[in-house]
Structure 1
């Protein structure tokens, strides 16, 4: 049974497009229909929904890039926060991709499996209890992202608060604190950003990836269509299945 809420959250974390803006009413219907989110978190999520629906598209896109593409501490790639560019990251990518494929989700060669919108799209295809269990594994990352976005007064904070609230178990405080202790430069601090993205030692071997390849993959991932949101060629649809 598809959990449409995860598809909606995946769409909200995708690169803003005119099609996504037009699909916001359908996302609201989907979220309210499943009613997995309530209270203050649901009201907070309304802020992001309204911001995307009514905001200037170019401003939305620029803000998205500054937050998630330019700022390493806000990366939407899960393993960026726990493995960086180490060899362990390569094996983790392989394992996650295998998990997707064993459950019937094929991804394009250019996509990185740890991209959060893709991960949420996968969760939407799983039984709800299993999805909540899988969601708990990176919950400390989502909690740290929520805190960093709160500091920036970003409405995207609501998505990560939602994910933590849905996880089968809550993140350990020490795990969240360890992530929050890492550098978190402002997107306008170019010197600090350069230092944060400074290349780590290159690892050779079957699991090694080059910095250039990683950046290209991240850019492509960030521009992948939101799940269930049609491209300009057809009407936007969020469908239950």
Structure 2
């Protein structure tokens, strides 16, 4: 059994919808009504469950693809919003993989470590204090994606807002990620495990969901 099932609840709902998800809607409904962690967001999250229950599987799948796969602003890959095409993205990927492995969590070959449902599944398995720390590090990005989805009137905004509400850390605004010439980066650093992105060896042991320079810049702006 998961140590923190509420994260698993969000993880499953943020994945590409399949028939078994719709079959399990009564279980998701029961959890929403019973878990105190979700009480503050219950109305919005109920709206998302209603959305799933009122559309066909094909409609849900088409909307999911249009929302997350065809719109980079809504991507559920955390480092997409932090590093963009900067070479540090590869290093952050490796750091996150190491975090998962320290917790005994191995990814499949077709999964990237910064995919938000993967991170949430990991948070469901680790001690609550550690899960809260990691979520507090990542919440700035989660809230950023939530804002983009909300601006697009997407029903998925409720899920990202719900995850944000679980964090002990208040989110700060996210600065725009740097842009780097990918041909140059590939030539200098070589491809990552997928053969697509430059990959660096990790230089630190902690995961940087939010670069310190960007964090301090956002904090300074929020305080002014």
Report how many aligned residue pairs link the two structures. Answer: 194
Specify whether residues 102 and 212 from structure 1 end up closer, same or farther in structure 2 by C-alpha distance, changes over 3 A only. closer
Q: What pairs with 1:1-241 in structure 2 (closer than 5 Å)? A: 2-39=3-40, 41-172=41-172, 175-176=173-174, 178-179=175-176, 200-203=182-185, 204=187, 208-209=191-192, 213=196
Q: Which runs of 5+ in 2 are unaligned?
A: 198-224
Alignment check: 8 A CA contact 2:32 2:42 kept = no
Following superposition, the deviation at residue 206 of structure 1 comes to 5.3
Runs of 5+ unmatched residues, structure 1: 183-195, 215-241
The TM-score with structure 2 as length reference comes to: 0.79
Aligned partners of 1:78 and 1:141 also within 8 Å? yes
In structure 2, the residue corresponding to 1:167 is in which secondary structure? coil
Cα shift at 1:29: 2.0
Runs of 4+ in 1 over 4 A off after TM superposition: none
In 1: Cα distance, 2:67 partner to 2:196 partner: 21
| 1:8/1:31 contact within 8 Å kept | no
Q: Distance in 1 between matches of 2:130 and 2:194?
A: 34
Distance (whole Å) between structure 1 residues aligned to residue 56 and residue 196 of structure 2: 32
Taking only aligned residues, the RMSD between alpha carbons, in angstroms, comes to: 2.4
Hey, what's the Cα distance between the residues in 1 that align with 2:169 and 2:34?
24
Which one scores higher on RCO, CA 8 angstroms, separation ≥ 6?
1
